[in-house]
Structure 1
Amino acid sequence: MVKWLFVGFTALFGFMLNFGFTPDVETKLKALERVTALRLRVFFLLCRVCLGLRAIITSGLRSTAQQAALHAADPRNAAAGSSSHERGLSADVNFLDAAGNNVLRKATPKSVWEKSGVVALAALCGLRWGGTAFPGYYDPVHFDSL
């Protein structure tokens, strides 16, 4: 059994290295911390292959000034200096279906996110989902490796 798992993961990793994302997603992934970027790459690949959903990163690494502006606009956002985005440990992600429709975004209800399979795949990849991570603040587009 262990041998087959190793073979499967080796094949998946090889496929992942040759699988390209859009230039915008690649740029945002490269700006993130290495382990977080790798987890997101595997997560995005699994979402594409298993669910037919294409990931787009709407926000990745942020400067302290960008985080301060977000916090000023909505105090439920982390204060500057305390966001995982500032350390390259998280990304905000929307998902598009095969027709290019934005089917999973901030306004999408929790039940739809959970039924989509995306939340389960995120957990499998070692990512925490913002739909349940922050008491009093529903942030379903947030995925981090904390």
Structure 2
Amino acid sequence: MLEEAKKPVFYHNDLLGTFELVKGLDLFETTIQWSNQECLLYFNLEEDEKVNDSLRTARQLMKEQTTWDASIKSFAANQLLELAKDWQEQDDSSETQEELTLDQFMSRISLESLHAYPDGEFEVYCHDGDLFWGHVIIVSDNINGTFQDAHIAG
């Protein structure tokens, strides 16, 4: 029984590829290409109907990833620019810095992982480009474009 529990569990989707179950988290994970770089795509282990709905969310994001990438970065920058400026002021490592702009903020962050949920909900985890000394930026959204939150964690 123990040997059976140790075996990897996979879920295949023709459009998104093969996901492997991360058993301790009850998440399926795969690597995808997003804006010319690799990132992780997750969805929760749930009943089939919710899995299919989560995968619909993921497919929609992948299909329109250029638009979503720009929207996610823009929302994060607009929500967190002032906080990033505060962190920049606290940085003792450099003496004079030019003031951080929205475009600079957006160009420094990059998508690390995407978590797709049912009902069009998703969360994006972004590398902070050292704006927040290595903390992750989390953006919550819905496929209908209703951004809910952007904050730092870690």
TM-score range, shorter chain: 0.3 to 0.5
Larger Cα-atom Rg: 2
Q: TM-score, normalised by structure 2?
A: 0.34
Structure with greater proportional strand content: 2
Q: TM-score, normalised by structure 1?
A: 0.35
Q: Which has the higher contact order (CA 8 A, sep 6+)?
A: 1
Structure with greater proportional helix content: 1
